Structure 1
Amino acid sequence: MLGLPDEVRGCLFDLDGVLTRTATIHAAAWKEMFDDYLRGRAEQADVAFLPFDAVQDYDAYVDGKPRADGTRSFLESRGVELPEGTAADPPEADTVYGLGARKNEIVLRMIHRDGVEAYIGSMRYVRAVRDAGLARAVVSSSTNCRDVLAAAGMQDLFDVRIDGIVAERDHLPGKPAPDTYLAGASALELEPAEAAVFEDALAGVEAGHAGGFGLVVGVDRVGQADALRAHGADVVIADLAELFDHR
């Protein structure tokens, strides 16, 4: 019924782009933040302004990663070096953490203004997983995971939440390292082979593959099915509801 191997006893879901339509919000927020920073830098150096690409740059450098890792990765792609700073840096600081804080301010503004929508197919699938008695966890790099789940009306559907706050507290490396997914499986008292991972980000699929999970499901929301498979997805679908018919 669920399209899962018989040995799978639990499901680990990414948040943005898998459960909720927030990946586009994050992409827009990254673009607004980086474009503002890059435009100012270009004006100061009297060079051409090359904007952040909300599809290619987002997928390649920031999607699925902890905020500081994504910030650092994209800046490196442009040959920009900034001081690291600390998690306490304000949004005005021109540091890796400062730019990350700036992006988070934009995300929160967008969420409060526009709300959060859950994918209908994902809501149906997670409820079916719950009704089948399988364990469920959300594994997200977002520090806003709790608020997003609440805004989407999904906060009561999961047994465990491994998010950016937990990762920072427990010093867990972010995706594409498998550590956050391994922590999710452990919290559900499952071996990796007993859990399925659901991811839309290339870094997240890579993390699921590296962790040796029983099934890695790539969720293709933006036409990158081949890339998801190349990074380790066992199955690629456009919507979680497709798994109801998968054998």
Structure 2
Amino acid sequence: MGQVNWSAVDAALFDLDGVLTPTSEVHMRAWAEVFDAFLATRGLAEPFTDADYFAYVDGKPRYDAVRAFLASRGIDLPEGSTDDPPGAGTVRGLGNLKNDAFLETLHRDGMAAYPGSVRLLDWLGGHGVAVAVVSSSRNAAAVLEAAGLADRFDVVVDGQVAAAEDLPGKPAPDTYRYAARLLHVPYDRAVVLEDALSGVAAGRAGGFAAVVGVDRGVGAEALREAGADKVVADLADLVPPESAAPPAVRHP
């Protein structure tokens, strides 16, 4: 597909990390810190790599990501409890340790949204297209607040909402579909914008109007193979020329 036909769309459903904000970089550093230290306790010298992040972690709920990476190294840990202390020798203990490392970096360094993503949000807001955030992270609210985007979205479906509503995480389409329902928009009138393979797969499985892949490092071809209809490097590429701007879309 070429440019998104915004006149045929009532809603845009955005992943957060890597799509609206460069939080993927912070997540990647936090995961590397946690996994490298853990692997060292097992006498394994091969570090956690960027390729590991994109293959096993990117876009997945936190504990799913822990399981997937450990399985890739042939390691099986007990599941443990969500209340396990950070660093406990369990799946959830490792996940909790990573969360602490991420929040420490976020609070110390802050966060800025991608300028091109803000430009697209401005355009959509001026043309009546509803927007929502759909993130696997349980920290979406903190990231949106840090990036100055909290007041842009009436609908945020994050890891906490998914747990409360018993929604399976990406690559299942349920969180994206739930966001569309909250916006009162049919699936085939909503566009999904994702940088992670698991998120692109979720959008493709959900019956949405289109899935836009945002290439922040996973690769354009991989995004297309996962189901992206269009791949861009920056969301500003999706802002139509003013001469092609459609009339404002009305939605409930």
TM-score interval (norm. to shorter): over 0.9
Pairing 1:32–2:27 present: no
Distance in 2 (CA, whole Å) between partners of 1:98 and 1:92 is 5
Specify which of 155, 171, 179 is matched with residue 176 of structure 1.
171
1:186 is matched with: 181
Query: How far off is 1:6 after superposition?
Result: 3.1
Q: Determine the C-alpha separation between the residues in 2 that align with 1:102 and 1:202.
A: 24
* Residue 161 of structure 2 is aligned to residue 160 of structure 1: no
1:49 alignment partner, one of 40, 45, 51: 45
Q: Supply the AA of the counterpart residue of 2:200.
A: V
Instruction: Answer yes or no: is the 8 Å Cα contact 2:54–2:218 preserved in 1.
Output: no
The 5-angstrom pairing of residues 1-247 of structure 1 reads: 3-42=4-43, 48-53=44-49, 55-222=50-217, 224-245=219-240
Distance 1:234 1:169 in 2: 31
Q: Which residue of the partner structure matches residue 45 of structure 1?
A: none
Counterpart secondary structure, 1:156: helix
Q: Quote the offset at 1:34 in angstroms.
A: 0.2
- TM-score normalised to the size of structure 1? 0.94
* Separation in 1, partners of 2:219, 2:151: 31
Q: TM-score, normalised by structure 2?
A: 0.92
Partners of 2:115 and 2:144 lie apart in 1 by: 14
RMSD of aligned residue pairs (Cα, Å):
1.3
Deviation for aligned residue 1:120: 0.2
Q: For the residues of structure 2 that align with 1:24 and 1:88, how far apart are their CA atoms?
A: 26
Shift of 1:92: 2.9
- Answer yes or no: is the 8 Å Cα contact 1:59–1:201 preserved in 2: yes
Q: Distance in 1 between matches of 2:15 and 2:141?
A: 13
Shift of 1:129: 0.8
Please say if residues 5 and 215 of structure 1, whose CA atoms lie closer than 8 Å, have aligned partners that are also in contact.
no
Given that 2:196 and 2:218 are in contact with CA atoms closer than 8 Å, whether structure 1 keeps it comes out as no
* CA contact 1:175–1:204 (8 Å) conserved in 2: yes
Cα drift, residue 119 of structure 1 = 0.1
| Structure-2 separation of matches of 1:37 and 1:27 | 15
Unaligned runs of 5+ in 1: 43-47
SS at match of 1:236: strand
Runs of 4+ in 1 over 4 A off after TM superposition: none
Aligned to 2:249: none
CA distance in 1, matches of 2:66, 2:5: 35
1:118, 1:152 within 8 Å by CA — same for their partners in 2? yes
Q: Secondary structure at the match of 2:26?
A: helix
Residues of 2 paired with 1:37 and 1:90: CA distance? Answer: 15
CA distance in 2, matches of 1:211, 1:95: 33
Question: Is the alpha carbon distance of 1:154 and 1:133 closer, same or farther for their aligned partners in structure 2, counting shifts above 3 Å?
Answer: same
Distance 2:218 2:77 in 1: 33
Aligned CA distance change for structure 1 residues 97 and 223 (closer, same or farther; 3 Å): closer
Structure 2 unmatched runs, 5+: 245-252
Q: How many residues align?
A: 240
